[in-house]
Amino acid sequence: MRLLFSLLVLLFSLSPVGASHPQAEIDLCEVYKDRLPPGLTLALLPDATAQGALLLDQYCTQCHNLPGPDRHTAAEWSEVSSKMFLLMEVSNRFGGWMGHVEVLSSQQQETLLGYLQRYAGDAVVIQSPLDEGVTLPLWFSRTLALLPVVLLLGVGLRVAVRALTGGHKR
């Protein structure tokens, strides 16, 4: 019985303890820095001088590498940013659970989310001298991209049919 008790004490004393608080000297922001690929910089973001891009660089890189706006769709960004804003707020209020994190104001959150959704993975931005930019659905931009191929195939088929029929119309 004493041997069993000793083994249990030894087993539980060697098991790792999950800790994510400042006393454990674990900064989750540093632990999860590699969750996004490195190398993306502010200068490489679309419309890098926009307020949304500046906010993305200033606040999001506190805990992870810079995410590109095309990493998620517009709908996904709404959900992801909501979770991130909440996590930042909780971390800030409860003594740096994820390290020292600055939070965005509600106006900054709206600006950042607008930027992320404007350049999201399911949106294509067409720049025009007449306006700032128009966001088109992904299916529409893909259809436009295929239009020249479809036209060429149509012309090619017409030429092939004429060649096979000897140029006679039926």
pTM listed for this prediction = 0.55
- Give how far the C-alpha of residue 110 lies from the chain's centroid of Cα atoms, to the nearest Å: 16
The DSSP call for residue 97 is B
- Give how far the C-alpha of residue 130 lies from the chain's centroid of Cα atoms, to the nearest Å: 29
Sorted by where each begins, the domain ranges of the chain are: 18-121
pLDDT of residue 124: 58
Q: List the structure tokens of 1.
A: 């019985």
The three state secondary structure string of the chain is CHHHHHHHHHHHHHCCCCCCCHHHCCCHHHHCHHHCCCCCCHHHCCCCCCHHHHHHHHHHHHCCCCCCHHHCCHHHHHHHHHHHHHHHHHHHHCCCECECCCCCCHHHHHHHHHHHHHCCCCEEEEEECCEEEEEEEHHHHHHHHHHHHHHHHHHHHHHHHHHHHCCCCC
pLDDT of residue 23: 43
Please, are residues 104 and 59 in contact by the beta-carbon 8 Å criterion?
yes
pLDDT of residue 90: 82
pLDDT of residue 61: 87
**Residues near 102 by Cβ (< 8 Å), separated by ≥ 6?**
59, 62, 88, 92
Could you read off the pLDDT tens digit of each residue along the chain, which spans 170 residues?
A: 676 556 555 555 544 443 344 444 555 555 555 566 678 889 999 999 999 999 999 998 888 888 889 888 999 999 999 998 988 888 777 765 556 788 999 999 999 999 999 999 886 555 554 445 566 676 666 666 666 666 666 667 777 778 778 766 55
Q: List the structure tokens of 42.
A: 């502010």
pLDDT of residue 27: 55
